[in-house]
Amino acid sequence: MNASVFALIFLLQICCQCNCQNVTRPNIVMVMSDAFDGRLSFDPGSKVVQLPYINYLRELGSTFLNAYTNSPICCPSRAAMWSGQFVHLTQSWNNFKCLDENTTTWMDLLEKSGYLTNMIGKLDYISGSHSVSNRIEAWTRDVQFLLRQEGRPVPELVGNMSTVKIMRKDWQNTDEATRWIRQTAASSHQPFALYLGLNLPHPYKTESLGPIAGGSTFRTSPYWLKKVSSELITVPKWLPMAAMHPVDYYSTVTKNCSGVFTEEEVVSIRAFYYAMCAEADAMLGQVISALRQTGLLSNTVVIFTADHGELAMEHRQFYKMSMFEGSSHVPLLIMGPGLMSGLQVNQLVSLVDLYPTVLDMAGVSQVGSLSGHSLLPLMSKSSAFSKKQHPDWVLSEYHGCNVNASTYMLRSEQWKYITYADGLSVSPQLFDLTLDKDEIHNVVHKFPDVQAHLDKLLRSIVDYPQVSAAVHIYNKKAFGAWRRSLGKNYSHVIANLRWHVDWQNDVIANERAVDEWLCSYIFDTSPPQHKLAAPFQWDFQMNVFVKINKYSVYICVFVCFSNLQ
């Protein structure tokens, strides 16, 4: 009898411990969209389009008013979010080169700690993805030609007032996520973590431009367009082309936005983009509804964010790849047990902060050194946390296509400092966002002390001349290896990438520009003065390359580096 009583007591204790663990360890659901302008998650941006479920998170959770991507492009940005490391540490230089498959993510750590986990939809953080054109455009950004790489941005209206599901793949993934919540998570005795990656509101592939086309079509239906308040759509201010910063000029041309656009066209593109955001919001709503209907919402942390924003014709550009607010400012809303409701957080934060935040919420110890800091102290109801643990700056960097220089952005207080490579060949930019929300007035020469202070701070975070030098070497080595792998087929392949229209205008001149760029490899043979961190190793051999065409003979000596990842 006594043995049976003791056994019963023991089992009750185990059950109580399990129940307590489930109460103290919340479920975690993250919905990450693609290309969602973070300024739409709070006023006045939120007024232009109806986003009821983002507003739901805003009212019952915390909204981060100054959240930024760590790289304004899909794969490097997500690599930073999943790894908790800055881009220069993961060496996620472009959409093709990101994380290794064996990289430990915060989801891996949750699973090891007893969480039931699932990842659905767009992940996009492992090396090797995206088109050949996308990677070639990134590798050859220093070549002395200016070729359009994208289709002209256009709106496209489909369906009618009953057409709801435009991005069908996203809806299928959302359906899968909600089925998993109802059928698996709801019946599990473990805390669970679910990630849903959406493609919306990323522009659609422009089918009329063929199989290699990029995404320049803003597609929606009258159903979603009705959610947009057209009278509140602003027409962004543009500098004249001749007055643009040279990097912005390059981006505008390669994005095929240097032509004439009527005000009606610009407003239409922006309206369609906002309508696409409304469709993404509805998918977030379906996830929230599934949690509420299964009784799981009260013990679930819900996070909504994005990999980057969308310029939607601001600064005469669409897409991302820019440090301007439309491209770099992301939404970040977090709701859950023990977190404050209706809180608006002014603290500067970025996507690398999500790794330590999720682990902090789950009570899981961090592994290794992280670039980010937990946001839990900023929104917890508990007074046990110090509110001053987070630095007062954020870093973003970019090394990919549509931009012809490695770009580094430091936000601190009201200032946004943008610098390129070594800061000498291309002049930096400085914007006071309290006085210049449109980022039209570069005041870097007006405030030299501010520029000097921010540059010193930036260099204390990342030795950006070193990083830029490493990216230059990687680009030439990667392109050279790709070209050698094609042999005689090289000219045909490169002539038919996304820039094929401009390339065909003068094939010989463009090939010559590529050769001259590779020839400049010889000038990169001197190691930088400061030793690069592993895995960069200066191990090279000299090779001679001779090319003859009808115009000239090039004798190019360039360097092939080994052990360069």
Which residues are marked as active site?
Answer: 74
Assign residue 129 a region (left: φ > 0; alpha: ψ between -120 and 50; beta: otherwise): beta
Residue pair 308/77 in contact (Cβ under 8 Å)? The answer is: yes
Residue pair 207/313 in contact (Cβ under 8 Å)? The answer is: no
Q: How many other C-beta atoms lie within 10 A of the C-beta of residue 13? A: 10
* Cα 399 off chain centre by: 12
CA–CA dist 382, 186 (Å, integer): 28
Handedness of CA 283, 284, 285, 287 (dihedral sign): positive
E-strand stretches of 253-353: 300-306, 332-335, 343-350
Task: Report helix, strand or coil for 384.
Answer: coil
Residue pair 48/274 in contact (Cβ under 8 Å)? The answer is: yes
Residue pair 229/49 in contact (Cβ under 8 Å)? The answer is: yes
Tokens standing for residue 243: 């007055």
Q: How many other C-beta atoms lie within 10 A of the C-beta of residue 203? A: 29
Residue pair 513/505 in contact (Cβ under 8 Å)? The answer is: no
* Omega before residue 44 within 30° of 0, cis: yes
CA–CA dist 507, 494 (Å, integer): 10
What Cα–Cα distance (Å) separates residue 509 from each residue in 148, 224, 499, 552?
Answer: 16, 46, 14, 11
Residue pair 309/320 in contact (Cβ under 8 Å)? The answer is: yes
Tokens standing for residue 125: 């953080």
CA atoms within 13 A on the CB side of 27: 25
CA–CA dist 528, 466 (Å, integer): 7
CA–CA dist 341, 239 (Å, integer): 41
DSSP 8-class letter at 273: H
CA–CA dist 447, 112 (Å, integer): 50
CA–CA dist 31, 34 (Å, integer): 10
Residue pair 355/84 in contact (Cβ under 8 Å)? The answer is: yes
What is the enclosing helix (H) or strand (E) of 118? Answer: strand 116-121
Handedness of CA 246, 252, 254, 258 (dihedral sign): negative
